[in-house]
Amino acid sequence: MNQSNILYQQWTERVTDPVLAEDLRAITGNAEEINERFYQTLSFGTAGLRGILGAGTNRMNIYTVGAATQGLCTYLSGRYGCAKVAIAYDSRHNSRLFAEQSARILAANGHKALLYPELMPTPSLSFAILHLQCQAGIVVTASHNPAKYNGYKVYGEDASQISPEVADEILGYIAKIDYFSGIKTIPLEDGLKDGSITYIGQETVDAYLDAVLAEQIDPEACRKTPISVVYTPLNGTGNKCVRAVMERIGVDKVAVVPEQENPDGDFPTCPFPNPEEATAMQHAIDLADKLGYDIVIATDPDADRAGVAVRHGGSYHRLTGNEIGVLMLRYIVQRRGEMGTLPENPVAVKSVVSTKLADRLAKEMGVQMIDVLTGFKFIGEQIALLEEKGETDRFVLGFEESSGYLTGPHARDKDAVNAAMIICEMTATYKSRGMTLLDVLDDVYRVCGRYLSVVDSYTFEGAEGGETMKKMLASLRADTVGEIGGRKVMAAGDYLSSKRVLADGSEEAIMLPVSDILEYTLEGDASVIVRPSGTEPKIKVYYSVVAGNLEDARKVYDEVSVGVRTLLGV
């Protein structure tokens, strides 16, 4: 009997939860499904846990979540003795269950759990850690994944997601825990009665909204120039907070997509509830087209990512995460400069896979641009470093190409509530000047060149898919890649070895933490980055090219992407 079958038998005998017990009975005799559920333990890392809901060691359930929380308790006990931990959750199936289970475990282990009483955006959890002076935070969410997923993210006392070192330490504790006898819990009612579990009050929600509003650039922009907005929370957590902020900044004309307004873990009208996906925004665009509204804004289920479609020339154009980031950088620096509120030596931070157009624009506008690894915790770290030096005011923007943005230090994670506010404000400001956001982008391209950034993803699910991805990356590392798509490789960087090899054979160090990233700089200012996704079973390829016009830029992308697909064998 192989290990998967042994674990399956153990779970069948020991699981007491009736729903999970029935789930196990349903796969009796299905060797492939049993292997998928038990061939590994659900990975715990800097992004916590993320996986398909169901019974098994490789699934999201009360036992895997319980073990993660018990491991976190051991870490917190050793570091703090008694810790305060804030907890939030989204609209997904079992999110509230997992959040309450986490609170019960924390309380049973001598810690204090502060639980939002209803679903809330992920950035409000990051804010609560700072506001309530907590030592850690938990948010139960799978962000923009399909409905069959859920996840569990852990934050440190700095309100950023935990570092790789802390994740490894917690993982070591998790590995020693028996799912069925090693997890301490108390009833929720007992914790609420003795005060070891408390609900986070409305004061904290209001303080979060006030902190977001404090990041306005021009508080009168939307009052001076009214705009119309179609908004969709994609059946997630953004509805109350985003609409409250829009109302308070003076956006009176807001239509919400009715099919996507209320929380629904099935996401019935958007199987991929990700603002980067055209299908996720289609209902909102259709409504905007019917109403003739200026702009469409979408937030993902945990409201940390924002998507935008702009009415221009009578039709709606979706913006990429990179384009929104560039527009925010242009607007914030330009408008703060006009209003006399731009700090000396302003700083922006972006992930290494985000568009190089932002680097060029930052240079044009006198902004220091800092590149960090993917994962918004690394942007949060840069804010914390500025804070240590008393220079927090220098921070003007952090962004990732995957539609994550933050314009202030109120949180240490991407914040779509904050982003929606800035998007409305810059739409109103440029509308007052007779421009749409697409007009502004064209201005940027005229100054900086026609950049094109594209992200291609290749999905490899299950145990076999995981092995395929490992072999793919290992093969790339084993070979010397001299050209891609007919363009010479000028430098090849491997972030696992922290080394970049130049075309002449010389080497230079990569001064960023070790990460599973391969980077190729090509002649003609083109670049390619290959990395496995940290939250989905995908290989992601990031292209950045620049040319004199869009047609030529697309031609470069077409040629280079063919070369990459040949290298990957896809």
Phi-psi region of 105 (alpha: psi -120 to 50; beta: other; left: phi over 0): alpha
Q: Strand, helix or coil at 54?
A: coil
192 contacts: CB under 8 Å, gap ≥ 6: 198, 199
Beta bridge partners, 53, equal 60
Task: State whether residue 7 is helix, strand or coil.
Answer: helix
Across 175-195, b (16+ Cβ under 10 Å) vs e yields eebebeeebebbebeebbeee
Angle at 370 between CA 369 and CA 372, to 5 degrees: 145
Give the strands of the sheet with 315-319, arranged side by side: 253-256, 228-232, 295-299, 306-312, 315-319
What letter represents residue 371's amino acid? D
- Catalytic residue at 143? yes
User: Residue 99 in contact with residue 140, Cβ under 8 Å?
Assistant: yes
Tell me the angle at which helices 202-213 and 239-249 cross, rounded to the nearest 10 degrees. Answer: 50
Which residue of the set 4, 95, 102, 143 is catalytic? Answer: 143
Measured from the Cβ of residue 55, the count of other Cβ atoms closer than 10 Å reads 25
Give the separation between CA 305 and CA 278, rounded to whole angstroms.
14
Strand partners, 317: 310
The answer to whether the beta carbons of residues 272 and 459 sit under 8 Å apart is no
* Residues in a beta bridge with 398: 349, 406
8 A C-beta contact, residue 412 and residue 158: yes
163 CB burial (10 A radius; 0-12, 13-18, 19+):
middle
* Active-site residue list: 143
